[in-house]
Amino acid sequence: MAQISQDEASVVIIGSGAGGGTLAYELTRAGIPVVVLEAGPHLRNEDYMNLEWEAFNQMAWLDPRTTSGSWRIATDFPNLPAWLVKAVGGTTTHWSGATPRFKAHEFRTRSVYGRVEGANLLDWPITLEELAPYYDRAEKAMGSTHRHGRPPLPANNNYKVLAGGAEKVGYRHYATGPYATNAEPYDGRPATVQDGFNFQGDKNGSKWSTLVRELPRAGETGLLDLRPESQAVQITHGKDGKVDAVIYLDSEGNLHRQAAKVVCVAGNSIETPRLLLMSASSLFPDGLANSSGQVGRNYMRHTTGSVYARFEKEVRMYRGETMSGLIADESRHDPSRGFVGGYYLQMISLGPAFLASFIEPGAWGKEFTELMDAYSRTAGLWIVGEDMPQETNRVTLNSTVQDRHGLPVPDVHFDDHANDVAMREHAYAQSDRVYEAVGALGTHHTPPYPSTHNLGTSRMSERPEDGVTDRWGRTHDVPNLFVSDGSLFTTGAAANPTLTIVALAIRQAEFLVEQLRTGAL
């Protein structure tokens, strides 16, 4: 592991998750030393626990946040808008592994969907064609099943129910992946033991994360200075308007300054805009790189929801991979369904502790306990679909509350768009059909969990007035400041985001290497 002097103007990456971890690996591999500031501790696979709440407490980002808006989260989980990790490897240590690609038209939604009232749709400044080679590299890096020769995972119990129902209602595009967990040993990591604890970190190391792959490999180059428990609180700049350092807090609350020649922010879509907003200065009064006013806006979280179906016979959904199965048929764009964009139905399983907490927040009495009593006979799925970017869905600095360091707490404001509601209703109804086709005794429609997919708050745009970053993720306003995580998403697509975050980071790294080589940066 390298030790880079705090005075040496370096490439500084903030966050070590999907975006930051990938970028760190790609840059060090190309011979560029990097400092990675990671707010959370360095947990390792052996530290993880097979207990839902204890693992959550160990891994999750628990610094206070507030919520506003009409989404149900603001009532049920007012201080937990999102389900994110604060640890080395970021939320890739918590994620489960679904890796579908975006479709071509999902980069061009303004053109293809047309004008949608109240939505701030915009075409991406890049196309699927441009991203395709990076998707290939990302899939190989992550070991996506069903891609590049990686075999599919076997069907587990929960999948048998999902796929059985899918077949009966006439769906065709179901499979156990693509899913970034090893079905057989690959890339130096073992095959899954189907323990069912992906969301709790995966002790076995079969699931891809930047903790098990990119960060250790970056470390092997001798060019990575990874600093856990180092939370960036401000990015500073010189008179020339270029960023020149990152101020960060260590675990004892002491402030440090790391000089920087390039800063890449990858703190996920709540912390990234928070940091840019906290870095406001006289030169950038509305926040760093915010001349468009779009920093923090267009916050997206996918249109989600779950359906849990009860059967007569045992399912035991918790046995095996948590999310290795999906139905893609509804991911098409087909406005005749009453909404634009599409969605996936993906299997999901929660243990009793999480299921009790999330299946119907606020519920008690027989209607609640009947759901729990059916636990071992229950199958579950998760809806994930494209939601509409809206300017008013937004991460801001809460001016009334601060965290223990005296920093403003981020507020996450969200209202569903009518399109989101129509899509969710459609998805609930289709899910019922799927499960009823294989004999469900009853189904329960679970509202969205705290957001696991957080997107769009520093979006890419062709024109500087429409967004925060250009086609490379470089901010329009500050030439040596980059955004390198899901905040970049111009629109959300139906697909789970991580494969795309990784592909964008690989592509951004290539651009950075070239810029640094030619001295442009």
Partner 1 sequence: MGYPEKYPAKYPQLNEMEFTDTARQILIRILRVAFPHEGFPDGPYERQADQIFELANESTWFRIKLTQGIATLNDLAGGSFLGLDDQSATKVLKHVEHTDFFGFIRRTTILNMYEDEAVWEVLGYEGPSFDKGGYVDRGFNDLDWLPDPRVEESQEEFVEIVSDLPVTSGAAPGTDQPTGDAARSSHPGVASTTADQNLTEDN
Ligand X SMILES: Cc1cc2nc3c(=O)[nH]c(=O)nc-3n(C[C@H](O)[C@H](O)[C@H](O)COP(=O)(O)OP(=O)(O)OC[C@H]3O[C@@H](n4cnc5c(N)ncnc54)[C@H](O)[C@@H]3O)c2cc1C
The entry of partner 1, ligand X, none near residue 268 (CB within 5 to 8 angstroms by kind) is ligand X
177 close to 162: Cβ distance less than 8 angstroms: no
> Any contact of residue 436 with partner 1 (CB under 8 A)?
no
Among 4, 11, 12, 17, binds ligand X (CB under 6 A): 17
The entry of partner 1, ligand X, none near residue 239 (CB within 5 to 8 angstroms by kind) is none
Comparison of 109 and 258: residue with beta carbon closer to partner 1: 109
Q: Which phi and psi (to 5°) does residue 25 adopt?
A: -65, -50
Q: Which two tokens stand for residue 356?
A: 């009790």
Sequence-distant (6+) residues with CB within 8 A of 303 are 343, 383, 384, 385, 386, 387, 416, 420, 423, 424, 427
The interface mask with partner 1, positions 81-100, x = CB under 8 A, is: -------------------x
Q: Please give the single-letter amino acid code of residue 49.
A: M
Within 224-263, the residues that bind partner 1 by CB under 8 A are none
> Any contact of residue 75 with partner 1 (CB under 8 A)?
no
Among 192, 306, 396, 487, binds partner 1 (CB under 8 A): 192
Sign, CA torsion 54/58/63/66: negative
Q: How far is the CB of 230 from ligand X (least distance, A)?
A: 6
> Any contact of residue 381 with ligand X (CB under 6 A)?
no
> Any contact of residue 28 with ligand X (CB under 6 A)?
no
> Any contact of residue 14 with ligand X (CB under 6 A)?
yes
> Any contact of residue 341 with partner 1 (CB under 8 A)?
no
**110 class by beta-carbon count within 10 Å (0-12 exposed, 13-18 middle, 19+ buried):** middle
Return the residue matching tokens 């990015």: 235
Q: How far is the CB of 54 from partner 1 (least distance, A)?
A: 8
> Any contact of residue 40 with ligand X (CB under 6 A)?
yes
Angle, alpha carbons 375-55-46 (nearest 5°) = 115
Q: Which phi and psi (to 5°) does residue 145 adopt?
A: -65, 160
Taking phi over 0 as left and psi of -120 to 50 as alpha, with beta for the rest, 434 belongs to alpha
Span near ligand X by CB under 6 A; candidates 37-45, 298-306, 313-321, 362-370: 37-45
CA distance 471 to 347: 34
Within 124-153, the residues that bind partner 1 by CB under 8 A are 125, 127-128, 132, 136-137, 140-141, 146-149, 152-153
Comparison of 102 and 308: residue with beta carbon closer to partner 1: 102
The entry of ligand X, partner 1, none near residue 266 (CB within 5 to 8 angstroms by kind) is ligand X
Span near ligand X by CB under 6 A; candidates 9-17, 368-376, 395-403, 506-514: 9-17
The interface mask with ligand X, positions 155-194, x = CB under 6 A, is: ----------------------------------------
501 close to 18: Cβ distance less than 8 angstroms: yes
Sequence-distant (6+) residues with CB within 8 A of 85 are 17, 40, 59, 60, 61, 91, 92, 93, 94
> Any contact of residue 18 with ligand X (CB under 6 A)?
yes
Return the residue matching tokens 């092997």: 220
Comparison of 37 and 315: residue with beta carbon closer to partner 1: 315
51 close to 241: Cβ distance less than 8 angstroms: no
Among 452, 461, 469, 508, binds ligand X (CB under 6 A): 452
> Any contact of residue 110 with partner 1 (CB under 8 A)?
yes
223 close to 31: Cβ distance less than 8 angstroms: yes
Q: Please give the single-letter amino acid code of residue 212.
A: V
Between strands 34-37 and 66-68, the pairing is unpaired
Q: How far is the CB of 335 from partner 1 (least distance, A)?
A: 6
Q: Please give the single-letter amino acid code of residue 252.
A: E
> Any contact of residue 117 with partner 1 (CB under 8 A)?
no
Q: How far is the CB of 271 from ligand X (least distance, A)?
A: 3
Report CA-CA distances (Å) from 50 to 15, 147, 167, 348, 451. Answer: 25, 29, 33, 17, 22
> Any contact of residue 453 with ligand X (CB under 6 A)?
yes
> Any contact of residue 297 with ligand X (CB under 6 A)?
no
> Any contact of residue 433 with partner 1 (CB under 8 A)?
no
Return the residue matching tokens 């069907």: 155
> Any contact of residue 426 with ligand X (CB under 6 A)?
no
Report CA-CA distances (Å) from 245 to 35, 277, 285, 384. Answer: 12, 16, 18, 38
> Any contact of residue 382 with partner 1 (CB under 8 A)?
no
Q: How far is the CB of 77 from partner 1 (least distance, A)?
A: 11
Residues of the shown chain interacting with ligand X in the complex, contacts defined by CB under 6 A: 14-20, 37-40, 83-87, 90-92, 94-98, 199, 231-232, 266-268, 271, 275, 323, 452-453, 485-486, 496-499, 501
